[in-house]
């Protein structure tokens, strides 16, 4: 098992190289003169050329990439083209915010979707089932920024229970987490429901019922546990997506996470920052997938046996 | 069988509606043309009410600042913080005029020399006194910093004359010199502190009314009052000023309504009526220096024909553009800059499609088609109205939208046709005319690729003319020539819109927005 985990962690290196390679080239080749954007107003031809030369932007892209990678292996992600600050410290200060928000959102999401999914499955075709599915559909159809704004207007403006944005105090995370949580609910609910529906007619469930196991245990211990594999997969995927930074939600709530940072950097062609945020995203996503795979092993002993 | 068909139809409808809904979400583009993203780019720990005493004033910004180093940024957003932490030799008042800040006395021993004496007894936040060495250091450093080196481009050398006086020698006779000193990039930095701390920008020290406390990236900047500020008449009032970054316009307005912020620096134009009608809030407006225009590449057909360009000036309905693009929050532009600048002469053009058609016939260009290039939501609307106006006189046009970075490049490529863009003026008229209309600026800011020997000569004369009366005459001649040559269709000048809690006093605006933040209090 340990060997398996270590091997998976080693895979992160080629992942990071591949991702940075592709992103570096795409951003470098996209139109827009970096030096001109950095200087802004008042840029003269001479100052643009001078800055371009100073930043080494006239070198072939592969050379620039080589420079970046050689610094990256020492842990230096470079300095932001826009602000001149260290990319690593910027990301280090903003990533925890995204992490906090993501974790809380997933908890909210799972807290809503698993019960709804299970109830919908066990009481299939009942009114609860239809209501649950419609709610899930509404959840995924609402644009997150609209829903976020609605929450702000109702709970921050009209009722004053929560701040309308920012990251001050524990109350400021609630509204953005609910916004994001609701958006993820739909897919998790549907998968929970459909995998429960697959599990419930199985023979071993009938056996358990016949044995006299009480209803709750049948559902929770015997059925749910088996239905968890696909469900955890989707939870992992949703978590990974949220980790990339729920940009719209972060913008609406002025939440200082890396999603906003990533988009702002792309707009400014701030290559070191773009690469930094994307590396964090790629690594984060890979680790989440790894955790999901490890969880499989604990849920299903058959899978554990396969992990050599 | 029919059930199958019905269900397939339903699925088809669902799929089609999916595709219909699938447009790319236009992420917020910077509204400005040449403005940097940040520029026309924070919270109490109490939930509902904000400190009504003067412990803390919260200002909402639309984007995070770029840098705490006044020479590390060139945008209006970061300036607001720099202006509080640092001092400059001169600053701008409400009427956009340069008035002395640190400068006690100034004179010109000769055409190219300027003697500047600073006030005595000005201390930096670490207690050290400011001397001419710091001024010299700051000026020289500004030329080394890519983002602000254009400000003191005319600097030949600066020498220390005595403890509080410097002598600046310019390369050419440069009348706008005093006006360049109001730029944040020429803030006076503490030489010893900066030289001994390569990382000083993370803990900046200046001489201003407020001291730096912390910057939480993407979230807020916190400043606290400097009790020992040198000018006792201009001391800060609030104990703390917090800048909160709130990128979404609606969220800024809501934060103002809940009282989480005390003043919003750039209020969304569409929220202006709401703030106006709310008795807890006050709306402040002033025409800005932010100028929007339809540029035409004067070196590319059909725009190389003066009559055609003049026809364009008659064909465009500026009132409609102002109403649609800005919800009316602005004024019509009557020439190449705001009318506050020296020498401004309004043109005779007005919305006259018949006259436009006449000129079209004279130029032999009826019924042609052109392209209009734009970037961002607001400019797209401007382009659409222009398109409609042009159709009225028989010209068909295709609008091409660009992402911002690409747009900046493309409009300098030489193949740009008609495009819509903005420009942020500086108090001195030369700072607009030189980058926009001189031959040397083609390929940089002069996107109309305008080249006129007469105008080049006049601009150089204006820059060197130290007599203000003669200077004004020179610029008037330039404006008249530009109005006639019509490289642009000037459109509108946006209003700066600031929203504040009703009880907040000393909310002052000049055309660059909120100023004198140190005076804000309840």
Chain A and chain B share a number of CB contacts under 8 A equal to 163
B7: tokens are 């269900």
Segment A283-295 shows an average pLDDT of: 86
Coil vs helix vs strand at A78: coil
- Chain-centre distance of CA B295, in angstroms? 18
Reported pTM: 0.82
Asked if the interface predicted TM-score (ipTM) of this complex is over 0.85, the answer is no
Give the per-residue SS3 of B395-425. CEEEEEECCHHHHHHHCCCCCCCEEEEEEEC
Interface of B with A in 380-409 (CB under 8 A): 403-406, 408-409
Angstroms from A147 CA to nearest CA on chain B = 13
Residue-wise pLDDT tens digits, A102-151: 999 999 999 989 988 888 888 888 888 888 888 888 888 888 888 999 99
Q: Give the number of other Cβ atoms within 10 Å of residue A184's Cβ.
A: 28
For residue A289, the surrounding DSSP H or E stretch is helix A271-299
Residues with Cβ < 8 Å from B34, sequence gap 6 or more?
A40, A41, B421, B422, B423, B424, B445
- Residue reference for tokens 């400021």: A172
Coil vs helix vs strand at B471: helix
End-to-end CA distance of chain B, in Å?
75
- Residue reference for tokens 């023979």: A203
pLDDT at position B147: 83
- What single DSSP character describes residue B128? P
Contact B27 A263 (CB under 8 A): yes
Report d(CA B61, CA B183) in Å as an integer. Answer: 20
pLDDT at B7 over 80: no
Residue-wise pLDDT tens digits, A82-97: 888 889 988 998 888 8
Contact B146 A54 (CB under 8 A): yes
Among chain B residues, the shortest Cα distance to A149 is held by B251
pLDDT at position B97: 85
Q: Give the number of other Cβ atoms within 10 Å of residue B107's Cβ.
A: 9
Segment B251-272 shows an average pLDDT of: 91
Strand partners, B442: B446
Please state which of the ranges B99-103, B457-461, B467-471 shows the lowest mean pLDDT: B467-471
pLDDT at position B484: 93
Portion of chain A with pLDDT greater than 90, in percent: 10
Contact A164 B153 (CB under 8 A): no
Rounded to whole angstroms, what are the CA distances from A105 to A145, A175, A257? 15, 10, 14
pLDDT at position B34: 38
Among chain A residues, the shortest Cα distance to B405 is held by A32
Mutate to test the interface with A, among B171, B217, B423 (most CBs of A within 10 A): B217
- What single DSSP character describes residue B75? S
A253: tokens are 């709530």
Among chain B residues, the shortest Cα distance to A269 is held by B405
Residues with Cβ < 8 Å from A26, sequence gap 6 or more?
none
pLDDT at A79 over 70: yes
Banded pLDDT at B1 (limits 50, 70, 90): low
Q: Are B454 and B323 in contact (CB under 8 A)?
A: no
pLDDT at position B19: 55
Banded pLDDT at B39 (limits 50, 70, 90): very low
Q: For CA atoms B232, B237, B238, B244, give the dihedral sign.
A: negative
Q: Are B143 and B155 in contact (CB under 8 A)?
A: yes
- What single DSSP character describes residue B109? E
pLDDT at B23 over 70: no
Chain A residue numbers touching B268 (CB-CB < 8 A)? none
- Interchain CB contact of B183 with A (< 8 Å): no
Report d(CA B489, CA A277) in Å as an integer. Answer: 42
Contact A37 B408 (CB under 8 A): yes
Residues with Cβ < 8 Å from B22, sequence gap 6 or more?
none
pLDDT at B24 over 60: no
- Select the residue of B28, B74, B251 nearest A165 (Cβ to Cβ): B251
pLDDT at position A208: 86
Residue-wise pLDDT tens digits, B374-416: 998 889 999 999 999 999 999 999 999 998 878 888 898 889 9
Q: Give the number of other Cβ atoms within 10 Å of residue A210's Cβ.
A: 8
Among chain B residues, the shortest Cα distance to A87 is held by B217
pLDDT at position B49: 43
Exposed / middle / buried, residue B197 (Cβ in 10 Å: 0-12, 13-18, 19+): middle
Residue-wise pLDDT tens digits, A210-269: 888 888 888 888 888 888 888 989 998 888 888 776 788 888 899 998 888 888 888 778
Among chain A residues, the shortest Cα distance to B44 is held by A168
B504: tokens are 């907040």
Contact A50 B257 (CB under 8 A): no
pLDDT at B38 over 70: no
Chain A residue numbers touching B444 (CB-CB < 8 A)? 43-45, 48
Please state which of the ranges A114-123, B133-142, B315-324 shows the lowest mean pLDDT: A114-123
Exposed / middle / buried, residue B92 (Cβ in 10 Å: 0-12, 13-18, 19+): buried
Chain B residue numbers touching A163 (CB-CB < 8 A)? 43, 47, 258, 260
Chain A residue numbers touching B28 (CB-CB < 8 A)? 251
Residues with Cβ < 8 Å from B99, sequence gap 6 or more?
B90, B91, B92, B93
Cis peptide before B61 (omega within 30 of 0): no
Return mean pLDDT, chain A. Answer: 86
Chain A residue numbers touching B254 (CB-CB < 8 A)? 152-153, 156-157, 164
pLDDT at B48 over 60: no
Chain A residue numbers touching B151 (CB-CB < 8 A)? 42
Coil vs helix vs strand at A135: helix
DSSP A158-206: IS-SS-SSSS-SGGGGHHHHHHHHHHHHHHHHHHHHHHHHHHTTSHHHH
Banded pLDDT at B340 (limits 50, 70, 90): confident
pLDDT at position B14: 61
Contact B216 A157 (CB under 8 A): no
pLDDT at position B16: 65
pLDDT at B37 over 90: no
Q: Are B304 and B477 in contact (CB under 8 A)?
A: no
**In this predicted model, which residue has the larger pLDDT, A221 or B316?**
B316
**Exposure pattern of B34-55 as b/e (b: 16+ CB <10 Å)?**
bbbbbbbbbbbeebeebbeeee
pLDDT at position B168: 94
Paired sense of beta strands B103-110 and B513-515, if any: unpaired
Banded pLDDT at A308 (limits 50, 70, 90): low
Banded pLDDT at B314 (limits 50, 70, 90): very high
Report d(CA B361, CA B45) in Å as an integer. Answer: 66
Chain B residue numbers touching A52 (CB-CB < 8 A)? none
**In this predicted model, which residue has the larger pLDDT, A16 or B473?**
B473
Interface of B with A in 35-54 (CB under 8 A): 35-37, 39, 42-45, 47-48
Contact A254 B75 (CB under 8 A): no
Report d(CA B139, CA B186) in Å as an integer. Answer: 6
Chain A residue numbers touching B39 (CB-CB < 8 A)? 40
Q: Are A73 and B471 in contact (CB under 8 A)?
A: no
- Select the residue of B150, B218, B404 nearest A42 (Cβ to Cβ): B150
Please state which of the ranges A19-23, A239-243, B361-365 shows the lowest mean pLDDT: A239-243
pLDDT at position B288: 85
Coil vs helix vs strand at A232: helix
Contact A32 B408 (CB under 8 A): yes
Segment B504-521 shows an average pLDDT of: 89
Helix A127-141 × helix A174-199 angle, to 10°: 130
Report d(CA B428, CA B432) in Å as an integer. Answer: 8
Residue-wise pLDDT tens digits, A200-210: 888 888 888 88
B452: tokens are 């006129």
Please state which of the ranges A5-14, B10-19, B201-210, B262-271 shows the lowest mean pLDDT: B10-19
Chain A residue numbers touching B243 (CB-CB < 8 A)? none
Segment A69-73 shows an average pLDDT of: 87
Return mean pLDDT, chain B. Answer: 87
Strand partners, B244: B60, B220
Q: Are B410 and A31 in contact (CB under 8 A)?
A: yes
| Residue from B189, B142, B145, B192 nearest B168 by CA | B142
Exposed / middle / buried, residue B226 (Cβ in 10 Å: 0-12, 13-18, 19+): buried
pLDDT at B41 over 80: no
DSSP B241-300: EEEEE--SHHHHHHHHHHTS-SEESS--GGGHHHHHH-TTEEEEEEEEEEEEEEEE-TTS
Residue-wise pLDDT tens digits, B181-215: 999 999 999 999 999 998 898 899 999 999 999 99
Q: Are A89 and A277 in contact (CB under 8 A)?
A: no
Report d(CA B135, CA B446) in Å as an integer. Answer: 33
């Amino acid at each position: 098992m340990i060997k398996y985990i270590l091997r998976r962690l080693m895979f992160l290196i080629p992942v990071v190289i591949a991702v940075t390679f592709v992103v570096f080239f795409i951003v470098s080749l996209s139109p827009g003169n970096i030096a001109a954007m950095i200087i802004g107003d008042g840029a003269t031809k001479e100052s643009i050329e001078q800055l371009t030369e100073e930043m080494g932007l006239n070198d072939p892209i592969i050379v620039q990439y080589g420079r970046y990678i050689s610094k990256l292996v020492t842990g230096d992600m470079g300095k932001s083209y826009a602000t001149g600050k260290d990319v690593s410290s910027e990301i280090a200060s903003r990533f925890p915010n995204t992490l906090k928000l993501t974790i809380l959102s997933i908890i909210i999401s799972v807290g809503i979707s698993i019960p709804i999914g299970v109830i919908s499955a066990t009481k299939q075709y009942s009114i609860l089932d239809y209501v649950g599915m419609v709610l899930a559909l509404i959840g995924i159809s609402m644009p997150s920024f609209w829903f976020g704004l609605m929450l702000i207007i109702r709970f921050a403006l009209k009722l004053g229970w929560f701040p309308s944005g920012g990251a001050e105090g524990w109350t400021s995370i609630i509204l953005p987490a609910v916004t994001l949580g609701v958006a993820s609910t739909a897919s998790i609910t549907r998968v929970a429901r459909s995998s429960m529906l697959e599990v419930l007619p199985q023979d071993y469930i009938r056996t358990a019922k016949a044995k006299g196991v009480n209803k709750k245990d049948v559902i929770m211990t015997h059925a749910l546990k088996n239905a968890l594999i696909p469900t955890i997969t989707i939870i992992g995927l949703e978590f990974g997506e949220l980790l990339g930074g729920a940009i719209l939600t972060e913008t609406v709530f002025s939440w200082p996470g890396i999603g906003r940072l990533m988009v702002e950097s792309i707009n400014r062609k701030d290559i070191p920052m773009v690469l930094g945020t994307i590396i964090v995203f790629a690594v984060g996503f890979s680790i989440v997938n790894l955790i999901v795979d490890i969880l499989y092993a604990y849920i299903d002993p058959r899978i554990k046996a396969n992990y050599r | 069988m029919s059930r199958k068909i019905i269900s397939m139809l339903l699925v088809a409808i669902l799929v089609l509606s999916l595709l219909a809904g699938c447009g790319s979400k236009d992420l917020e583009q910077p509204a400005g043309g040449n403005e940097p993203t940040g520029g026309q780019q924070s919270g109490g720990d109490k939930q509902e009410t904000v400190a009504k005493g003067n412990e803390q004033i919260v200002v909402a910004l639309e984007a995070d600042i770029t840098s705490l180093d006044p020479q590390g940024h060139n945008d209006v957003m970061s300036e607001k913080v720099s202006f509080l932490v640092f001092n400059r030799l001169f600053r701008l008042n409400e009427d956009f005029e340069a008035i002395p800040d640190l400068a006690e006395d100034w004179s010109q021993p000769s055409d190219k020399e300027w003697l500047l004496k600073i006030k005595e007894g000005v201390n930096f936040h670490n207690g050290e006194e400011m001397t001419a060495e710091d001024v010299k250091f700051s000026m020289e450093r500004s030329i080394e910093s890519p983002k602000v080196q254009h400000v003191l481009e005319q600097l030949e050398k600066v020498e220390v004359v005595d403890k509080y006086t410097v002598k600046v020698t310019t390369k050419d006779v440069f009348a706008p010199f005093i006006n360049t000193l109001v730029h944040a990039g020429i803030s006076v930095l503490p030489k010893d502190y900066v030289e001994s701390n390569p990382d000083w920008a993370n803990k900046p020290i200046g001489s201003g009314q407020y001291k730096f406390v912390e910057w939480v990236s993407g979230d807020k900047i916190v400043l606290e009052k400097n009790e020992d500020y040198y000018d006792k008449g201009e001391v800060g009032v609030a104990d703390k000023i917090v800048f909160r970054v709130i990128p979404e316009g609606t969220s800024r307005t809501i934060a103002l309504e809940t009282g989480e912020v005390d003043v919003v620096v750039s209020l969304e134009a569409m929220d202006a009526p709401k703030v106006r009608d709310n008795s807890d809030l006050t709306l402040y407006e002033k025409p800005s220096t932010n100028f929007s225009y339809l540029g035409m590449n004067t070196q590319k057909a059909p725009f190389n024909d003066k009559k055609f360009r003049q026809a364009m000036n008659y064909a465009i309905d500026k009132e409609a553009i102002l109403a649609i693009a800005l919800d009316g929050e602005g004024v019509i532009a009557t020439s190449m800059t705001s009318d506050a600048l020296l020498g401004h002469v309004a043109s005779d053009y007005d919305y006259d499609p018949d006259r436009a058609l006449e000129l079209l016939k004279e130029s032999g260009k009826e019924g042609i088609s052109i392209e209009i290039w734009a970037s961002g939501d607001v400019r797209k609307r401007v382009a659409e109205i222009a398109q409609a106006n042009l159709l009225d006189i028989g010209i068909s046009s295709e609008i091409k939208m660009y992402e911002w970075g690409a747009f900046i490049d493309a409009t300098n490529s030489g193949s740009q046709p008609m495009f819509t863009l903005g420009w942020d003026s500086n108090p001195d008229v030369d700072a607009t005319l030189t980058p926009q209309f001189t031959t040397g600026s083609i390929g940089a800011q002069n996107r109309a690729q305008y080249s006129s020997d007469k105008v080049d000569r006049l601009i150089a004369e204006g820059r060197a003319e130290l007599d203000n009366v003669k200077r004004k005459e020179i610029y008037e001649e330039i404006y008249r020539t530009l109005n006639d040559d019509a490289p642009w269709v000037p459109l509108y000048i946006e209003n700066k819109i600031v929203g504040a809690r009703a009880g907040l006093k000393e909310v002052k605006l000049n055309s660059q927005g909120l100023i004198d933040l140190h005076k804000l209090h309840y």
